[in-house]
Structure 1
Amino acid sequence: MEQNRKTLFLVEVAVFTAIALLLDYAANILSLKIWPQGGSISIAMVPIFLMAYRWGLKGGLLTGFLLGFLQIVLGQAWIIHPVQGALDYVVAYTVVGLAGVFSSSIKKAQADSKKTLWIFYMVLGVLLGSVLRFIAHYIGGIVFFASSAPEGTPVALFSFLYNGTYMLPNAIISAIAVVLVFGASPRLIAGQRHSMNHS
């Protein structure tokens, strides 16, 4: 049973990472180049949140890490320095998976049929993951994209506004998408909780 769970976990990580990669690729094509130094309106974080809520921290962190790593390997990343690349992709997407700290709270609220509560925890998780990702991009913007700031604009303010203009919509869209997905198919969490209790 334990071996089956490990296999299921690895398969889901691979599948959800692939979905996230495709969503990110599509967003980059459709982004209209509003953000010249990288950034787009995308639901690529949604598969990371789904894995974080299904499997907890290990699911979220591993899926996020693989997404960031594969973006670099497959040439979907905007990189001007190795440290910036690691910060803007590997670190930024890995920390999204920290939303998994709310996994057990969500499962408990769902098992107790407290819909408002599990939605609250899901949105809180999306907010946590999005803010942490924003911080990674914000630091990268200050350190590596200072020359991009318009003359007279403080670098810190430029990085805040630049990264905020796509991260805020991403957070809102991701929160709505995650709640809708789990609302439409509660077993996405309940089924996982059940199998965990019987392994």
Structure 2
Amino acid sequence: MQNEKLRVYIEGTLFAAIAMILSLIPIGIGASFSISLGTIPLTFFAIRRGMVPGLFAGFLWGILHVVAGTAYILNIYQFIIEYGFAFTCVGFAGYFSQTIIKNIKENSLGTAKKYLIITTFIGSAARWFWHFVAGVFFFGDYAVWGLDPVTFSLLFNGASMLATIAVTIIVLVLLFDRASSMFVPKLKS
């Protein structure tokens, strides 16, 4: 049992590293809009292994931004919100992990796919919430077109969230349709 837990967290560390590598691919317009490709492997991991390991991997992904020098840190509060809370929250995509795995095992693939889409939205929306908060409180001065900080953060962070959710769902559904068994972890004896 102890070895299996260790294996899960090592796997989470690898998925966090993959997410970080994908985060280095520039897919954005300016500083306010981007598609977060790192969400794809983190969501897959959270669905495969569950919410707690997903939260762990998401937290590592946030810290890796600091280690890699890609974090934009204004102060300790913004750092905690964006690189602590926000990236960690992608792990909430593991909320329906057991339901998805159970439905795959029972060959109820339509139901499993429905929950995969819902849980992807949950993880990405949870992350977006914290980026929205940071946008309002720390980046409101950068609002364009005379927008107030709330509207600015809602529009720009919201557009990024919707684009990230769409790409993540498309990739995970394609992967699911091709090999749904990849979402079910194999236990080693």
Same fold flag (TM > 0.5): yes
Q: What do the CA deviations read for 1:19-66 (whole angstroms, capped 9, x no partner)?
A: 100000113xx43xx2325x5213211111111111111221011000
Structure 2 residue identity aligned to 1:36: A
The counterpart of 1:111, out of the listed 105, 116, 124, is: 105
Give the equivalent residue in structure 2 for 1:91: 85
Q: Work out whether 1:36 is the aligned partner of 2:13.
A: no
Distance 1:42 1:101 in 2: 20
Distance 1:42 1:153 in 2: 24
The counterpart of 2:131, out of the listed 114, 134, 137, is: 137
Structure 1 residues without counterparts, runs of 5 or longer: none
Contact preservation (8 Å) 1:72, 1:85: no
Q: What do the CA deviations read for 1:56-115 (whole angstroms, capped 9, x no partner)?
A: 112210110000011012211122222112212221111110111100110111111111
Give the equivalent residue in structure 2 for 1:74: 68
Contact preservation (8 Å) 2:43, 2:54: yes
When the two chains are superposed, the root-mean-square deviation of aligned CA atoms in Å is: 1.8
Distance 2:3 2:10 in 1: 10
Give the equivalent residue in structure 1 for 2:169: 175
Structure 2 residues without counterparts, runs of 5 or longer: none
Q: Work out whether 1:126 is the aligned partner of 2:120.
A: yes
- TM-score, structure 2 normalization: 0.92
- TM-score, structure 1 normalization: 0.87
Alpha-carbon distance, 1:187 to partner = 2.4
Range 61-70 or range 179-188, more displaced:
179-188
Q: How many residues align?
A: 189
Alpha-carbon distance, 1:151 to partner = 6.0
Give the equivalent residue in structure 1 for 2:3: 4
Give the equivalent residue in structure 2 for 1:47: 41
Structure 2 residue identity aligned to 1:183: D
Give the equivalent residue in structure 1 for 2:21: 22
Distance 1:186 1:50 in 2: 11
Q: What do the CA deviations read for 1:113-132 (whole angstroms, capped 9, x no partner)?
A: 11111111011011111111
Structure 1 residue identity aligned to 2:30: W
Contact preservation (8 Å) 1:24, 1:44: yes
Q: Work out whether 1:59 is the aligned partner of 2:53.
A: yes
Q: Give the match's secondary structure for 1:7.
A: helix
Give the equivalent residue in structure 2 for 1:152: 146
Contact preservation (8 Å) 1:20, 1:44: yes
Distance 2:86 2:9 in 1: 22
Structure 2 residue identity aligned to 1:6: K
Range 172-181 or range 7-16, more displaced:
7-16
| Identity across the alignment (%) | 33
